[in-house]
Structure 1
Amino acid sequence: MPGAGPIPDGWNCAETTKVDLDGNGWPDVFVIFARTAPASGDPWLARIVLTGGPTYEIGFTADVDEARSMIRGHVDVDRDGRDDVLVELGHGASTEIVGVFGLGKNGLVQAAYQDGTKARLLFAGSVRHGAAVECRSQSGRAELVMRGISNYTADDQWDWSESVYTWSSKVLVLSSQRKGVIKVPHPFDPPPNEDAFWSFRCFGVDLY
């Protein structure tokens, strides 16, 4: 893609997209590079080339097939007026993990928790377990909600949990947690409002 910059030695350009990462109304270039041979350090590299400014790069970890499309969409997850890029970091038999990449105070960053651990947002699932991610605004404040559910305890019972985070720049700050039980009339009946537990919904971007 024009404007993506040179490919670093030892890397292959895996994917590019245009997205307004700095919120100035002009599309910037977001690039993912994959290592072409085993080496120390992160196996993947993300780069942003800002239309009216500098270029930033960060390494990251992902366990995906390079042939797959890793860029799953872009959306302003924390409502700071700048788009963020959703990147697939891994997948299981029935689940997917995405990370959030955006422009922070000092350049390109991958969203993380307060302890510095990179945020790996799990969603989807099977007929017996599910995980979901929801972005929402409460009283003008952006929140990210992570839910999990399963019926392993009993065939007619779904155990669920929910963690709510607020944003501080690109850091997720835990705000509240709760859990509960949903009883269903018959064994293996799905819980009500299935989308709340088997989806990724973020301000108009829906992943399933």
Structure 2
Amino acid sequence: MDTLFPRERAVVAPGAVHVPGWLPAARQRELVAACREWGRGPVPYRHIVLPGGGVMSVQSLGLGRRWVPYRYVDDVAVELPDWLAALGREAVAEAYGEDGGYAPDTAFVNYYDAGAGAKMGMHQDKDERSGAPVVSLSLGDRCVFRFGNTETRGKPYTDVELASGDLFVFGLASRFAYHGVPKVMPHTAPPSLGLSGRLNITLRETGL
């Protein structure tokens, strides 16, 4: 993304840290290639059907401990790579100054097709028994990431623009804050990625 001034690191809320441009271009390309390879595996990207019959507009796949709405099951369809868990530890250390023994055992890869209007409603990541931070890595198109409070889906919230390569970590007092993606900006991905749309990788500790 071309900007006149560098985007600044920001503490969006207590325990919620945005680090723009954390992933260098070469690492972004490696992650996009990995996301494509995972999609060719035994559990391809799919639109998750929720218990009430709703269908998520994003396409998702899981690594490590498997999640089904709204719980984790004692099953691993695709292993969480050690190198990705290590990247998660680096991310937590970047956000907080130390990794705190962070040991993610699950990751979600979400694909937002901007042309199809894919988005994510406000929700909490609360199916984990661990209060360890959530690590979010952005690739491809820019998006509006809405980061709210722990009590309600409504205001107060802060809208943050996430670009390719950005890191967002939320834990501590903000671990169970509502958050979502109301908008993805089409055709804003770095051309070198060869990616249309947005990929988001989130790592978590399930505590199971």
Length-normalised TM-score, structure 2 = 0.25
- Larger relative contact order (CA 8 Å, sep ≥ 6): 2
Bigger share in helix: 2
Bigger share in strand: 1
Rg larger in structure: 1
